[in-house]
């Protein structure tokens, strides 16, 4: 008897409930679809979520980092320290404000910036640190800010993947300096496209508001002025309404992701993949929001390239992703003098990492299917399959 093929399992899929969909319909009917009352409500609820700190919403989690740098008065002649293991936007915004990016290799266990290497990267030109919380796992926040204070540095946290994460019981965004979140479609909370910037005071929030829309300040019915060079970064009310619906479910979303992450560890236990030496992420069910579940392939033993492994998963109806190649090896950064061998841990991980499906609409049976497929591939190709050069 022929079995019905199982549906393709994407590596990410947002969960948008009916109440949110109907809320978006109401926004369309209201006639106010660009920045307006939904944005104001979204910002108010985001602020409440991070303990009352001022928050401004934007149309991406990329412009939030750039504006965070500008608010911190980072500019030409300065250096900003970050990690090469991140989406390239983290470093691109540093270049965008005319600043030199300085990379610090990753800790091979946490896959985040190695804080043991941070201080030796600081120079008289260093103005800020931009840590990245890969897959939602924060760095050691106590140590990070101890180093920043000791050297008089600003911190612009690339917390794009860490909405819903915590540090010692405190929400990311509720503590720290300037914090940037992303609400892209693949994030734990989405506004389709969008982001938010958490700041220290109302002066910074007012400056962010200016940067968001051409530097304009309006007073009365007809007066306006422009005193800073801003851009066009405002979030639509349609997007803000999606974000509101998502934000109100963040605790459930995080709990479900942690449940699925636990199921992954249980499913991998004792299987062919683990025996072959596949690298699993750090087990952290306290601080991480489990934005992603990433494995590191033992390519020297697997007998497949990463692309071939991903193709094998696709043949089995399972989507995967790569987050991320080591960004200093992109052409843009090679042209600035970066090369192989400079950050070996990031390069090794960047060449072998694969992101597995993890989203709230999944079940633990889906997790078992993913891991079963990986074990099957490992058994089929390890040692006796085609070996990559």
Domains identified in the chain, total number: 2
The separation between CA 336 and the C-alpha centre of its own chain, rounded to angstroms, equals 25
Q: Which of 223, 247, 271 is the last residue of a domain?
A: 247
Active site residues: 187
Q: What is the pLDDT of residue 295?
A: 98
**Together in a domain, 49 and 172:** yes
The pLDDT tens digits for 333-374 are 999 999 999 999 999 999 999 999 999 999 999 999 999 999
Burial of 306 (0-12, 13-18, 19+ CB in 10 A): middle
**Together in a domain, 214 and 229:** yes
**Together in a domain, 243 and 255:** no
Q: Has residue 4 got a pLDDT over 70?
A: no
**Together in a domain, 230 and 301:** no
The pLDDT tens digits for 173-206 are 999 999 999 999 999 999 999 999 999 999 999 9
Q: Could you tell me what percentage of the chain is helix, strand and coil, using 3-state DSSP and rounding each to the nearest 5?
A: 40, 15, 45
Quickly state the pLDDT bin for 6 (edges 50, 70, 90). Answer: confident
The CATH number for 162's domain is 3.40.640.10
Q: Note whether residue 352 is domain-resident.
A: no
pTM of the model: 0.95
**Together in a domain, 194 and 298:** no
Q: Has residue 2 got a pLDDT over 60?
A: no
Burial of 225 (0-12, 13-18, 19+ CB in 10 A): exposed
Structure tokens given for 244: 């509101």
Q: Which of 194, 222, 247 is the last residue of a domain?
A: 247
Q: Has residue 387 got a pLDDT over 50?
A: no
**Together in a domain, 162 and 207:** yes
Q: Has residue 388 got a pLDDT over 70?
A: no
**Together in a domain, 207 and 286:** no
The answer to whether the beta carbons of residues 102 and 82 sit under 8 Å apart is: yes
Torsions phi, psi for 118 (to 5 deg)? -65, -50
- DSSP string of 253-270? HHHHHHHHHHHHHHHHTT
Indicate if the alpha-carbon torsion angle 299, 302, 305, 309 is positive or negative.
negative
> What number of other Cβ atoms are within 10 A of residue 93's Cβ?
26
The CATH number for 303's domain is 3.90.1150.10
Q: Note whether residue 44 is domain-resident.
A: yes
Give the range of the structural domain holding residue 148, as residue numbers without chain letter: 18-247
Q: Has residue 389 got a pLDDT over 60?
A: no
């Amino acid at each position: 008897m022929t079995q019905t093929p199982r549906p393709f399992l994407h590596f990410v899929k947002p969960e948008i409930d009916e109440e949110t969909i109907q809320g978006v319909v109401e926004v369309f009917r209201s006639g106010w679809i660009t920045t307006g009352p939904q944005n104001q409500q979204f910002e108010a609820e985001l602020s409440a979520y991070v303990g009352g700190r001022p928050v401004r919403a934007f149309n991406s989690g990329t412009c939030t980092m750039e504006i965070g740098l500008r608010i911190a008065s980072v500019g030409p002649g300065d250096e900003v320290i970050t990690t090469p293991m991140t989406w390239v936007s983290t470093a691109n915004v540093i270049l965008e404000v005319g600043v030199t990016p300085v990379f610090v290799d990753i800790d091979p266990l946490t896959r985040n910036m190695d804080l043991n290497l941070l201080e030796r990267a600081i120079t008289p030109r260093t103005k800020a640190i931009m840590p990245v919380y890969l897959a939602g796992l924060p760095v050691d926040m106590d140590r990070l800010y101890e180093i920043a204070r000791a050297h008089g540095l600003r911190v612009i946290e690339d917390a794009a993947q860490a909405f819903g994460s915590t540090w010692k019981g405190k929400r990311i965004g509720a503590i720290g300096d300037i914090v940037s979140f992303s609400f892209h479609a693949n994030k734990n909370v989405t506004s389709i496209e969008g982001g938010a910037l958490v700041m220290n005071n109302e002066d910074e929030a007012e400056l962010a508001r200016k940067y968001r829309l051409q530097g304009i300040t309006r007073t009365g019915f007809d007066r306006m002025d422009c005193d800073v060079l801003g851009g066009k970064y405002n979030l639509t009310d349609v997007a803000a309404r999606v974000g509101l619906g998502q934000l109100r479910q963040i605790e459930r979303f995080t709990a479900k992701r942690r449940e699925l992450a636990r199921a992954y560890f249980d499913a991998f236990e004792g299987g062919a993949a683990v025996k072959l030496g596949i690298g699993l992420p750090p087990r952290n069910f306290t601080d991480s929001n489990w934005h992603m579940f990433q494995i590191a392939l033992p390519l020297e033993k697997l007998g497949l390239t990463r692309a071939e492994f991903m193709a094998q998963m696709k043949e089995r109806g399972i989507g995967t992703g790569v987050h991320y190649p080591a960004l200093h090896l992109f052409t843009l950064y090679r042209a600035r003098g970066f090369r192989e061998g400079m950050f070996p841990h990031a390069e090794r991980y960047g060449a072998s990492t694969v992101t597995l499906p993890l989203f709230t609409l999944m079940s633990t049976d889906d997790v078992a299917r993913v891991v079963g497929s990986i074990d099957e591939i490992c058994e089929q190709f390890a040692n006796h399959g085609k070996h990559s050069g």
